[in-house]
C-alpha cells in the first residue's frame, strides 16, 4: 500500500506528495481495468491513445519517484532482464498429464471406472456430475500468488519440476499481477498459454519477410517463446492464456464448476465454452458440438477435457503416478485437407539418408500453412503409389508432422508416371547405396554439404551438446564462408571472432554468447558427446547404455562387433554401425580432433549403493505405477546397481506391472520372465 509516511522521492529526498501517490494509484487501477476489459473480456472502453498516455504518465512518475515502483505495477510487465538459465521450481501439487481417449467407447469406460471407484467408497453416484472444457493446444503453466500478488510462474516440466518463467509470464497482459479479494490472498492458478491463429499467421509472415525459418504450429511457438531468456523478446510475441484450475487454503473449495466462476471473479481469463453435465451421454453431445465448431474458433484446440465436478469425489477417485483418474481428455481426429503434389524432392540427412519429400500446393491445416509433407522412404511411395501431380489427402501426425494419408486416384492426370528410384545424391551427385535389409538409400560421401550441415545441427542441438546461437541459417552461412567444414571446427570459431562480429545477424554480444556456449559444452558428459557425434542408429538411450559398458572412447573404438552385440538392448545393426564408424579414417580423425579441444570421452561412474535384489538385474516396466513415474522408478533401479530396458527378452530378469499394462506383460508370460507387482517391487527396495 502506498503511503507518504514510508516513501521518499529522489528529488531533494523530500516526502512524496499525497497527490502523486493518489495519481499513481488511480493510473494503475485504470490501466489494469483497461487490460482486463481488452485482453480478457474483449470489450475495450478506451482508445489506444488514451491508454498510451496513461502508461506514459505512470512511467514518468515512477521514474521521478522510484520508491513508488512495485512488482505488480503495469510498468513491470517487461523486466528487460536477460537471464543465463531458468531456475527449477518444484510443484507443491504435481501437474499431472491427462489420459487420452479417442472414441466414445473409451469415454463410457472412463465413466464406468469412475462410478466403480465411487461405489467402492460407498458414495452415491446419483450425485455424479462432469464438467466439460476445451482442450487447448498450448503450454501448461502454474501461477503462484502470495498476499494477493503474483510472485512466481512456472512451466509444467515433467509434472513435478518445471522452469521458473515468472518474468516471461508477466508480459501476458491477461494475467493479473495482483488480485483484490476480501478472503482469497494466497493461491495457485493453472492455465494454458497459447497463441491465436491470426497472431501465429502474422508471426510466420514476418519470419518469411526476414528470410527466417517459419514456425511449425502455434503450440511450439508458444512453448519456444516462454523459454526465451529475454523478456523483452517475449513481450513482442502475442502470448495469451486461459485458466482452468484454482487451489487455495483461504476458503473451502467444493466444486470445479464453481472454481471456474471464482477464477472469473478474480479477473483471470476463463474460456466461455465450459459446461456442467449430468451423465456421459451429455458429455458425448458436448464433444460432438465442439468438434463441429472447432475450425471457427480463433485458437487451436485438439479435444475436450472431462472432469468430475465434486472436489471431494476427485479426492476419493484419486490419481495414478501420471494422471488423475477423475479426468480424461477426449481427442479429436486429426484434421485432414486435400491438396496437390507439385513435385517430389530428395532431402539428405546427417547420416546420408535420402528422404523423399512432397512439395505441395500450400494449404492451411491445424494451425499452419503446409507446403511440404514427408513421404518417409521409397517403399512408402511405392506402397501408396504416390506420383507428382496427384491429388492427395494430408494430415498432421500428432498434429505436428504433415504426411500423405491417401492418393485420390480418381483425380490423377492421364500422363502421370511412377516416381523413379534415385541413383545419385541430389546435393553432391555421389552414387547412392542401399544396404541389404534396409528401406533407405544413402549418400556415402561424408563431406556432402547436406550431411555436414545435418551433423552440425545435430551436434549443437539441445539434447546433444546444447550450443546456443548456432541455428540452421547461421550454420549454413558459416559453412558457406569456410569457417566450418566439420564438427570439430565449431571449437575453432574463436579464431574468427573479429570476422564473425562483422557478419550480418551477428554483433559483439551475440558472438561472445556463442563462444561462451561453445566453451561450456566441453563440460558435457561422455554419453552426451557419444550421442552428439552422430553415429548411425545411436540415440540418446543407446549412447547412455554403451557409455556404461565401455568406460572410454578408446575401449569402444577397439571393441569387436561381437563384443558390442553382447550388450543387452544393443543389436547387430548398432554394433556394425559403431565398428564401421571407428574403422573409417574420418571417424577416427573426428574423435582425435574433439579430444584435442577438450571434450569428455571418459565415463564418470555414478556412486551406486548396491542392493542384491537389483545388482546386475534387468528390469522392464509396463503400465502405470501408483508411487513412481516411469523415470523415477528407472533411476531408482539404476542407482541400486540394476539395469532398465524398454523391451522384454529372455535376458530380462523382472517385469514390473502397474495398472493398464501393455503387451509387454503377455510377452513376459510367454517367455517365462518373472512378473512382479509394484508392491513386490517396493518390498525388494526395503530389503
Spatial contact of 619 and 645, defined as CB atoms under 8 Å apart: yes
Among 135, 284, 528, 664, the active-site one is: 135
State what percent of residues in the chain have pLDDT above 90: 46
CA distance 146 to 187: 7
pLDDT of 241 higher than 70: yes
CA distance 300 to 598: 46
What's the confidence (pLDDT) of residue 5?
42
CA distance 111 to 456: 50
What's the confidence (pLDDT) of residue 397?
61
> Does 135 qualify as catalytic in the annotation?
yes
CA distances from 488 to 122, 352, 415, 520 (A): 67, 19, 50, 15
pLDDT of 415 higher than 80: yes
Of 164-173, 240-249, 504-513, where does mean pLDDT reach its minimum?
504-513
Spatial contact of 63 and 11, defined as CB atoms under 8 Å apart: no
What sign for the dihedral angle of Cα 277, 280, 283, 284?
Answer: negative
- Tell me what percent of the chain is helix, strand and coil, each rounded to the nearest 5: 40, 20, 40
CA distance 56 to 75: 9
pLDDT digits (tens, 9 = 90+) for 614-660: 888 899 998 878 778 777 888 888 888 888 887 888 889 999 998 77
Burial class (CB in 10 A: 0-12, 13-18, 19+), 12: exposed
What's the confidence (pLDDT) of residue 81?
57
> What is the distance, to the nearest Å, from the Cα of residue 435 to the centroid of all Cα atoms in its chain?
35
Residue with cell 493461491: 187
- In this prediction the pTM is 0.62
Q: Which helix (H) or strand (E) holds 33?
A: helix 18-35
Q: Which residues of 152-172 are buried (b: 16+ CB within 10 A; e: fewer)?
A: bbbbbbebeebbbbbbbbbbb
Domains and CATH numbers, the chain: 11-77 (1.10.287.610), 100-331 (3.30.470.30), 336-433 (2.40.50.140), 449-523 (1.10.150.20), 526-596 (1.10.150.20), 618-686 (3.40.50.10190)
Of 78-92, 118-132, 155-169, 535-549, where does mean pLDDT reach its minimum?
78-92
Residue with cell 509396463: 622
What's the confidence (pLDDT) of residue 2?
47
What sign for the dihedral angle of Cα 553, 638, 663, 317?
Answer: negative
State what percent of residues in the chain have pLDDT above 70: 94
CA distance 324 to 314: 8
Extract the C-alpha cell encoding 470.
548456432
pLDDT of 399 higher than 60: no
Per DSSP, which regions of 439-490 are E strands? Answer: 442-443
CA distance 557 to 551: 11
CA distance 321 to 517: 36
pLDDT digits (tens, 9 = 90+) for 28-71: 888 878 777 766 666 777 776 777 788 888 888 888 888 888 87
Q: Which pLDDT band, with edges at 50, 70 and 90, does 3 fall under?
A: very low
pLDDT digits (tens, 9 = 90+) for 132-189: 999 998 899 999 999 999 999 999 987 888 889 999 999 999 999 999 999 999 999 9
More confident site: 139 or 570: 139
Amino acid at each position: 500500500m502506498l503511503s507518504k509516511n514510508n516513501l521518499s522521492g529522489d528529488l531533494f529526498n523530500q516526502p512524496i506528495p499525497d497527490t502523486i501517490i493518489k495519481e499513481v494509484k488511480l493510473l494503475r487501477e485504470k490501466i489494469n481495468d483497461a487490460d482486463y476489459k481488452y485482453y480478457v473480456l474483449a470489450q475495450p472502453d478506451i482508445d489506444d491513445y488514451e491508454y498510451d498516455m496513461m502508461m506514459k504518465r505512470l512511467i514518468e512518475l515512477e521514474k521521478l519517484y522510484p520508491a513508488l515502483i512495485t512488482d505488480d505495477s503495469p510498468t513491470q510487465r517487461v523486466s528487460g532482464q536477460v537471464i543465463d538459465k531458468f531456475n527449477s521450481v518444484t510443484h507443491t501439487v504435481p501437474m499431472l498429464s491427462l489420459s487420452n481417449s479417442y472414441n466414445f467407447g473409451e469415454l463410457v469406460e472412463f465413466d464406468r471406472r469412475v462410478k466403480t471407484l465411487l461405489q467402492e467408497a460407498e458414495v452415491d453416484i446419483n450425485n455424479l456430475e462432469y464438467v466439460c472444457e476445451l482442450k487447448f493446444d498450448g503450454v501448461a503453466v502454474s501461477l503462484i500468488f502470495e498476499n494477493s500478488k503474483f510472485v512466481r510462474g512456472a512451466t509444467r516440466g515433467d509434472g513435478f519440476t518445471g522452469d521458473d518463467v515468472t518474468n516471461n509470464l508477466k508480459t501476458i497482459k491477461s494475467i493479473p499481477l495482483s488480485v483484490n479479494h476480501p478472503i482469497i490472498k494466497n493461491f495457485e492458478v493453472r492455465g494454458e498459454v497459447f497463441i491465436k491463429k491470426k497472431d501465429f499467421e502474422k508471426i510466420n509472415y514476418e519470419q518469411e519477410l526476414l528470410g527466417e525459418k517459419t514456425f511449425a504450429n502455434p503450440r511450439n511457438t508458444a512453448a519456444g517463446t516462454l523459454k526465451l531468456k529475454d523478456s523483452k523478446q517475449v513481450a513482442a510475441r502475442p502470448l495469451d492464456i486461459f485458466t482452468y484450475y484454482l487451489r487455495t487454503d483461504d476458503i473451502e473449495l467444493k466444486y470445479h464448476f464453481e472454481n471456474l466462476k471464482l477464477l472469473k471473479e478474480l479477473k483471470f481469463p476463463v474460456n466461455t465454452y465450459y459446461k456442467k453435465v449430468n451423465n456421459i451421454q451429455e458429455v458425448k453431445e458436448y464433444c460432438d458440438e465442439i468438434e463441429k465448431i472447432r475450425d471457427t474458433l480463433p485458437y487451436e484446440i485438439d479435444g475436450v477435457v472431462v472432469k468430475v465436478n465434486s472436489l471431494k469425489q476427485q479426492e476419493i477417485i484419486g490419481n495414478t503416478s501420471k494422471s488423475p483418474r477423475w479426468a480424461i481428455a477426449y481427442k479429436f481426429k486429426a484434421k485432414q485437407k486435400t491438396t496437390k503434389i507439385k513435385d517430389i524432392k530428395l532431402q539428405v540427412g546427417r547420416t546420408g539418408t535420402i528422404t523423399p519429400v512432397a512439395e505441395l500446393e500450400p494449404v492451411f491445416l491445424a494451425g499452419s500453412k503446409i507446403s511440404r509433407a514427408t513421404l518417409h522412404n521409397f517403399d512408402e511411395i511405392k506402397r501408396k503409389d504416390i506420383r507428382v501431380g496427384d491429388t492427395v489427402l494430408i494430415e498432421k501426425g500428432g498434429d505436428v508432422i504433415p504426411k500423405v494419408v491417401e492418393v485420390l486416384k480418381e483425380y490423377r492426370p492421364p500422363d502421370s508416371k511412377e516416381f523413379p528410384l534415385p541413383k545419385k545424391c541430389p546435393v553432391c551427385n555421389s552414387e547412392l547405396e542401399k544396404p541389404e535389409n534396409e528401406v533407405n538409400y544413402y549418400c556415402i560421401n561424408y563431406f556432402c554439404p547436406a550431411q555436414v550441415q545435418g551433423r552440425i545441427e545435430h551436434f549443437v542441438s539441445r539434447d546433444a551438446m546444447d550450443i546456443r546461437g548456432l541455428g540452421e541459417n547461421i550454420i549454413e552461412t558459416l559453412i558457406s564462408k569456410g569457417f566450418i567444414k566439420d564438427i570439430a571446427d565449431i571449437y575453432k570459431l574463436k579464431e574468427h571472432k573479429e570476422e564473425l562480429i562483422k557478419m550480418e545477424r551477428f554483433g559483439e554480444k551475440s558472438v561472445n554468447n556463442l563462444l561462451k556456449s561453445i566453451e561450456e559444452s566441453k563440460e558435457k558428459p561422455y554419453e552426451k558427446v557419444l550421442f552428439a557425434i552422430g553415429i548411425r542408429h545411436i540415440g540418446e538411450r543407446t549412447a547412455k547404455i554403451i557409455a556404461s559398458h565401455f568406460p572410454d572412447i578408446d575401449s569402444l573404438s577397439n571393441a569387436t562387433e561381437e563384443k558390442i552385440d553382447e550388450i543387452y538392448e544393443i543389436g547387430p545393426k548398432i554394433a556394425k554401425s559403431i565398428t564401421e564408424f571407428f574403422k573409417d579414417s574420418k571417424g577416427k580423425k573426428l574423435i582425435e580432433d574433439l579430444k584435442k579441444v577438450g571434450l569428455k570421452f571418459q565415463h564418470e561412474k555414478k556412486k551406486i549403493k548396491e542392493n542384491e535384489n537389483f545388482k546386475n538385474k534387468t528390469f522392464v516396466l509396463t503400465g502405470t505405477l501408483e508411487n513412481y513415474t516411469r523415470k523415477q522408478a528407472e533411476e531408482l533401479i539404476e542407482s541400486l546397481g540394476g539395469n532398465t530396458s524398454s523391451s522384454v527378452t529372455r535376458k530380462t530378469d523382472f517385469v514390473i506391472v502397474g495398472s493398464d499394462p501393455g503387451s509387454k506383460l503377455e510377452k513376459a508370460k510367454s517367455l517365462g520372465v518373472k512378473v512382479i507387482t509394484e508392491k513386490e517391487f517396493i518390498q525388494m527396495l526395503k530389503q
